[in-house]
Every structure is written in structure tokens, then in C-alpha cells.
Amino acid sequence: MNTKKSEELYQRASGFMPGGVNSPVRACKNVGKTPLFIERAEGDKIIDADGNEYIDYVCSWGPNILGHGKKEIIQAVKNSCDNGLTFGACHRGEIALAEIIQRNIPSMEMLRLVNSGTEAVMSAVRAARGYTGRDKIVKFEGCYHGHSDGLLVRAGSGLLTGAIPDSAGVPKGYTENTLLAVYNNEQSVEDLFEKYGNEIAAVIVEPCAANMGVVPPKKGFLEFLRKITEQHGTILIFDEVITGFRLSLGGAQKYYGVTPDMTTLGKIVGGGMPLAVYGGKREIMECVAPLGSVYQAGTLSGNPAAVSAGIAALGILESATELYEQLDEKGAKLEKTLAESGFNVNRVGSLLTVFFTERSVTDYDTAKTSDTNKYAKFYSYLLENGVYTAPSQFEAMFISSAHSDEDIEYTCQVIKQYRI
Ligand SMILES: *Cc1c(COP(=O)(O)O)cnc(C)c1O
């Protein structure tokens, strides 16, 4: 495999961006590599600067559920751009997108469009605090909720791989209201409520964790969170930045049948453009300015080009009746092959992680027992055979509707020939 051009570009990029990248998970440090520079992408394939072609299971870390370069989405963006790139003012698209979101996720009675998942979560937490008049929040070890100060505690993926427990540059005061619980462990949540009960503004959770690798909620866990938050007047926030429109049209809340008070969306909802959403119960969202006193704003929020991409993507998902079943079948096929080859695999629908652990992974501690050197070897093997996966053990493989049966089958053959 010739990657000379990528290596040259990486050298140049390293002079400008820290580590040559604009987001640390792209750096490939943990698998002992330098990043590939991508020239273009189409369907389920990405092509690097040296012309190598790979079947892509990163899918831009989630947004590309319809594959790369979906024609309808690109056309919608082009049409929108013909009318100007940004107005900093109201436009029809915002209503259209809000309608689609609410139709599929009715618990988002009111919502706000923002520009990234980080911003969505940060704003949702602020609204929950403003509404309840409380300061503390509960998050789970290994769940990632973006890089805002208060949430960079045991935050999975990028941080987990790099073995940085917290980020430098975050004053202690910013995280002292962040309480940590153990995913899938009800007792750990009960203990916090016993101690801090009526000080807890919100419990935030990835309803299916996907940033310590995929870790599904055990049966009853989300129902338990619903109940205990209700008992204490605490807001339950589902961070569905990955799971929204991924596990089902109605997200994880529909998939698992548990309704939160607030929801954050990102990734898929922007159709590949920078767009994210937070929302929830009307009475909570009515606390947000200009109706209420919780301030939150954005120059480019509701950007027409991004909104048009979201409308197009969600429109396709709404009309493709069997899409989620098909994604599930493809996922099941990969899972079966991996399991038969002796891998330890967690999967929910089109989200999947191969763990190099002895035990099955149910939380952050078990995820951390993974042998990341073994993962690095597997990663390199896949890449050399034209299969592009995340350069970190603690991420998901994403399957898109563009993954053809042939390419899934090819991936299975490559997996079968690997000796663990
Ligand atoms: C990706 C992600 C975020 C952060 O979104 P950005 O757009 O990268 O800021 C937040 N929460 C979850 C669950 C995510 O997967």
C-alpha cells in the first residue's frame, strides 16, 4: 500500500495544526500510524490522496448513514447555496427541519438548532440547570458528550485511547458539579441521588453508549434512569448525537421505548453538514432566551445550507421504509462473522465494536481491559486489505445504506482470514 502523498501532506499539516489534525481521534497515533488524507468519497468508499480505495466503516463518525455523496443531499445544498450562504435571520428551512424532527421524536416539543454536538449538549445542560435552579449533573464514565469544560470527565473515545483522564486547561471548579456514575450500574446512580438528591439538575446519558466502543444499555437500565430522575425532579437528557436517526427514525428513545425530558441530536441530523439540535419539554425550552433567562445564541445557527442537507437526509430516511431493517441485517452479518472468528463483539443495529477483551464489555472498566495493541494490529490488517475503520478501539463501526452486500461480504472474508 503506497501512502506517500498522505505522509507528505501530514508533514505539512503538522506545521499548522496540533498533531496535523483538527480533531484528535483522526491522528491515528494510537494505532502507530499517520493519518490518511482523503481526496474524495462516494457511496461506501473513500479514496485517499494516493488513490487507495477503502470500504468506509467510519462514515465521518456517524453522519453518513446514507453513505457518502448522496445525490439528493448534495443537490439540496447546491440549491440552497444559490440563494446565499447565510442570512443570520429566520428562514423557512428551519421550520421544515423542526417539523421532521418533531414528527419522529415527539418528546422534542420545542427545539433549537445549533452547530455541533458539543454545543447542543452544553446548551441542554444549561437549560436543565436554568429550569431546575440546580447545579449538579450526573454523567456516566465512558460516555462522551462533546468537549465543553464540565463534561470532560471520563469522557471515553479520544480521551480514553490517549489515557488522559481529564483535559488540562479545565479549572477544577468547572467539573466539581459533575458527578460520575457507572454505566449499566443502577446502584452507582442510587448512591449519588441518596447523597445529592435534590441538587441534581440533570442526568445525561448516551442511551446506547458508543464512545467507549458500543456498549448497549442492559435491560431495565434506561427505565431505571427514567424513574429515579422523575422521583427527584431531575431532568433526564438523552444524548442522541450518535443514536438519533441511527437506531431508528425515533432514535434510541423509540428503539428502547424510554422517553427523556430533553434530547440532543447531531451527526445524522445535519446530513453531513455542521448542524446539531437540542430540545425537549416545552416548559424547559421556554426557559431559553428570548422567552426565558437561559442564554444561548449562534451566528450561524440554523445555517440554510446545513438545514437543507438535514431536511434532505431525514426526508430520505423517512421514506425508505426498510432501511433500518436492512442496516440491522448488514450489522448482524458482520457480527456473526466476527463472533464465529472468535472476536468479542458488541452490536446494536448499525453500530458495532470489536473488543479485544477477555470479558464482555458492559461499562467503562470492562472496556478499558481491552488490549489496544491487538486492536492496532487488527486495524492495520483491515486497512491494508481495503477496510477503513476507526483508529481507536473505543469507537463504533458505522454501517450505512450505501454498504453493498458485496462489500459486506468482502469485509467478512477479510475478517475470516485474520488470526487473532
Ligand atoms: C460526537 C458526539 C458529541 C459531540 O458532537 P460534536 O459535533 O463532535 O461536537 C456529543 N455527544 C455524543 C454522544 C457524540 O457521539
Which pLDDT band holds residue 150 (cuts at 50, 70, 90)?
confident
- Residue 304 near residue 91 (C-beta atoms within 8 A): yes
Each residue's pLDDT tens digit, 198-222? 999 999 999 999 999 999 999 999 9
Each residue's pLDDT tens digit, 69-81? 999 999 999 999 9
Choosing from 10, 131, 144, 256, the catalytic residue is: 144
Model pTM score: 0.96
- Ligand 1 closest atom vs CA 117: 5
Average pLDDT of the chain, as a whole number:
95
| pLDDT value of residue 157 | 61
Each residue's pLDDT tens digit, 345-358? 999 999 999 999 99
Backbone angles phi, psi at 350, to 5 degrees: -95, 20
Each residue's pLDDT tens digit, 235-289? 999 999 999 999 999 999 999 999 999 999 999 999 999 999 999 999 999 999 9
- Residue 415 near residue 337 (C-beta atoms within 8 A): yes
Whether residue 158 has pLDDT greater than 70: no
Which pLDDT band holds residue 182 (cuts at 50, 70, 90)?
very high
Grid coordinates representing 207?
442511551
Q: How far apart are CA 263 and CA 284, in angstroms?
A: 12
- DSSP 8-state code for residue 88: S
Whether residue 162 has pLDDT greater than 50: no
Respond yes or no: is residue 239 known to be catalytic: yes
Respond yes or no: is residue 219 known to be catalytic: no
| pLDDT value of residue 173 | 81
Respond yes or no: is residue 183 known to be catalytic: no
Nearest CA to ligand 1 atom 14: 241
What average pLDDT does the segment 231-237 reach?
98
What average pLDDT does the segment 20-45 reach?
94
| pLDDT value of residue 117 | 98
| pLDDT value of residue 163 | 41
Give ligand 1 pocket residues (Cβ under 6 A): 116-118, 121, 144-146, 206, 211, 239, 241-242, 266, 276
- Residue 219 near residue 256 (C-beta atoms within 8 A): no
| pLDDT value of residue 354 | 97
What value, to the nearest 5°, has the Cα angle with vertex 179 and ends 394 and 208? Answer: 40
Which pLDDT band holds residue 138 (cuts at 50, 70, 90)?
very high
Percent of the chain with pLDDT over 90: 91
Task: Tell me which of 137-141, 164-168, 219-223, 365-369 is least confident.
Answer: 164-168
**Location of C-alpha cell 467510519:** 58
What average pLDDT does the segment 71-99 reach?
98
Nearest CA to ligand 1 atom 6: 117
For the sheet with 344-348, list strands across it. Answer: 344-348, 351-355, 397-398
- Residue 28 near residue 35 (C-beta atoms within 8 A): yes
Spell out the alpha helix ranges (H) of 213-352. 221-231, 251-256, 282-285, 304-319, 323-340
Residue 233, C-beta contacts closer than 8 angstroms, at least 6 positions apart = 132, 198
Q: How far is the CA of 391 from the centre of ligand 1 (A)?
A: 17
- Ligand 1 closest atom vs CA 119: 9
Percent of the chain with pLDDT over 70: 98
Task: Work out whether strand 53-56 and strand 351-355 pair parallel, antiparallel, or are unpaired.
Answer: unpaired
| pLDDT value of residue 407 | 97
Give the count of beta carbons closer than 10 Å to the beta carbon of residue 188. Answer: 17
What average pLDDT does the segment 108-125 reach?
98
- Ligand 1 closest atom vs CA 23: 8
- Ligand 1 closest atom vs CA 242: 15
Mutate to test the pocket of ligand 1, among 26, 65, 144, 151 (most ligand atoms within 8 A of CB): 144
